[in-house]
Structure 1
């Protein structure tokens, strides 16, 4: 993708020409928020939800939007065209900007930095969707405002690296004895009696856009849902487990900490939700 076009503060540039100040607070403090929107058939999936969450994240951190949300959507669509992106995602980041030097307090009258770029990847035919994932559990050491989608992702990176070193696919995070979420996704189990369980919304987890859509679809399919805490031990005994995110949609989990989940194959609930979510996403993408 070395020839791709990116967006930086009003300009479409070749990626090697896009430069951000070393004094940008996103670089110095992680003082920035981000979103990732999936792209299918050259169209944005559930982008309105991502824009609403972006606005909320900015509000929580008192970061002003550099341009209106509608203009951000136009930029996303223009990048899709310029990069001929058929399938993958668009990353966007808004930092508080650069005040010209390093200082902890929020600077006054600083212009936020807006960055967007495309990433081509296979979403619809991902091998993990058919084979399932293996995960480990690890301590959740993230900050206490996980509902704000900030770029402060070192703890999730460490969790992901721990999984890589164990030769598995991902990590589920544990706090006070309960699963919070995956390193970059929301986590679910299906009990032996068919109940879909996921942690309720709070400051402890990201308010997933795909999560919201999946729970609505599950309700329409008459799948019983419980939004409650669950432990790793309960997950070991589950009939199914899976994760969701903007670019994974639904990926089944077939092993947790070496424990085989169900029969060790992707479960029917996960497969059904992935199928109907992709059907919905394909129809409604814009």
Structure 2
């Protein structure tokens, strides 16, 4: 049985409890982060901790712990659950208060929950060798997608739309341009250029995205941060997505159309290799 962390306590998962008045439950008034674990170490932890603080700040929400305490909690959970390969999920909400659309008093204690998920073979996922298929769907989320909130109903619906269509995931489209995947940032490759949407309130500022683009630049790869259309995507030589749990994942089909050769491309494969190598070296 897993050990989880709830508001300062390490507990068996079947003893963990949250109030029915928690605003994360009632209003999706909370934020989250997911940090991958490889070889028992945390990947890109500093980036996730920094983005958590930004999300909290944007929602005027207090942080229940310092970054140092957060790292210690992550490491303790990894150790207690003997996690070698998998994920650590972290969620912070505004806390429990009587149901009211207005924020509760500032002395209301935030709720913090962390748990682990074992994912054997995370770094050597078969999908990375065959590539994934995506479909396009309208982007019907709220406007502040740069804040990593727990309101994930539409992305969940998008995953189900993809499953119903025999695909693995969905890319969301707004005003004729791709924003991002349901749980990842989206990229195409044309010639020698990697193209991905520019940062803004329309997409999540991916931690893996930042690392991959930095590594691409260091490897003398050309990067353009701009909007691109589904037509451009279907005409691309390659496509891929990035996220904390999939790293760099090739996309070989979009809306039934084969991308490039229909097999994972060299750019995506190389970026995945570089990312895993460099991230493991810097893991904590």
TM-score range, shorter chain: over 0.9
Decide which of 95, 104, 107 is 2:104's aligned counterpart. Answer: 107
Paired with 2:201 and 2:167, the residues of 1 have a C-alpha distance of: 28
Paired with 1:47 and 1:182, the residues of 2 have a C-alpha distance of: 22
Determine if the alignment matches structure 1 residue 72 to structure 2 residue 70: yes
1:219 aligned partner: 217
1:89 aligned partner: 87
Paired with 2:118 and 2:212, the residues of 1 have a C-alpha distance of: 24
Paired with 1:186 and 1:49, the residues of 2 have a C-alpha distance of: 16
Compute the TM-score of the two structures, normalised by the length of structure 2. 0.99
Paired with 1:224 and 1:43, the residues of 2 have a C-alpha distance of: 31
Determine if the alignment matches structure 1 residue 174 to structure 2 residue 177: no
Determine if the alignment matches structure 1 residue 244 to structure 2 residue 242: yes
Paired with 1:95 and 1:42, the residues of 2 have a C-alpha distance of: 27
Give the number of equivalent residue pairs: 282
1:15 aligned partner: 13
Compute the TM-score of the two structures, normalised by the length of structure 1. 0.98
What is the deviation of 1:234? 0.4
Decide which of 193, 206, 209 is 2:207's aligned counterpart. Answer: 209
1:127 aligned partner: 126
C-alpha RMSD of matched pairs (Å)? 0.5
Paired with 2:34 and 2:65, the residues of 1 have a C-alpha distance of: 17
Post-superposition Cα deviations, 1:96-144, rounded to whole Å, max 9, x if no partner, equal: 0001x21110001110000000011131110111110000000000000
2:135 aligned partner: 136
Paired with 1:33 and 1:94, the residues of 2 have a C-alpha distance of: 5
Paired with 1:81 and 1:58, the residues of 2 have a C-alpha distance of: 27
1:28 aligned partner: 26
Unpaired runs of 5+ residues, structure 1, are none
Paired with 1:215 and 1:10, the residues of 2 have a C-alpha distance of: 36
SS in 2 for 1:225: strand
Unpaired runs of 5+ residues, structure 2, are none
Paired with 2:65 and 2:247, the residues of 1 have a C-alpha distance of: 29
What is the deviation of 1:84? 0.1
What is the deviation of 1:194? 1.7
Runs of 4+ in 1 over 4 A off after TM superposition: none
Paired with 1:127 and 1:103, the residues of 2 have a C-alpha distance of: 47
